[in-house]
């Protein structure tokens, strides 16, 4: 079965500091990995994805994520955090085959707070 774990409910960082939001996954077959961000009372907004190729994926708003197959991780990173990055972040995985092909499995979400 597919699953995602986001071990931190909250991450707090100061503006200008680097940030990391952690994600580990379990999937049958090869993983398709995604990060989404949700601002208050809004839907999910796509940030970036890993399908194949380079382990370091760059996405919107200066975010990047590193795929690590041996550690089954896909941590989200940004070199310099902004107050406007404060939001709820979701990691998701999708299998590349099988009966659950269509669906995304989400982590519980990590609330990122960046203080000035």
Partner 1 sequence: GAGVSQSPSNKVTEKGKDVELRCDPISGHTALYWYRQSLGQGLEFLIYFQGNSAPDKSGLPSDRFSAERTGGSVSTLTIQRTQQEDSAVYLCASSPDRAADTQYFGPGTRLTVL
Nearer to partner 1, 13 or 74 (CB): 74
Nearer to partner 1, 19 or 107 (CB): 107
40 burial (CB, 10 Å; 0-12 / 13-18 / 19+) is exposed
Smallest gap from Cβ 37 to partner 1, in A, equals: 11
- Residues 73, 74, 78, CA angle at the centre, nearest 5°? 135
Nearer to partner 1, 70 or 99 (CB): 99
Nearer to partner 1, 11 or 107 (CB): 107
Smallest gap from Cβ 32 to partner 1, in A, equals: 5
Smallest gap from Cβ 34 to partner 1, in A, equals: 7
Residues within the interface to partner 1 (CB under 8 A): 32, 34, 36, 42-46, 49, 51, 90, 92, 94-97, 99-109
The three-state secondary structure class of 62 is: helix
Q: How far is CA 60 from the centre of its chain?
A: 12
In whole angstroms, what is the distance from residue 3 CA to residue 12 CA?
25
């Amino acid at each position: 079965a597919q699953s995602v774990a986001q071990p931190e409910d909250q991450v707090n960082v100061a503006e200008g500091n680097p940030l990391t939001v952690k994600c580990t996954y379990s999937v049958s077959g090869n993983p398709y990995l995604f990060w989404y961000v949700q601002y208050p009372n809004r839907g999910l907004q796509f940030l970036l994805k890993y399908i194949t190729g380079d382990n370091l994926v760059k996405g919107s708003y200066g975010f990047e994520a590193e795929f690590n197959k041996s550690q089954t991780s896909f941590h989200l990173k940004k070199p310099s955090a902004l107050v406007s990055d404060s939001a709820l972040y979701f990691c998701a995985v999708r299998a590349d085959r099988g009966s659950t092909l269509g669906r995304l499995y989400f982590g519980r979400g990590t609330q990122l707070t960046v203080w000035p």
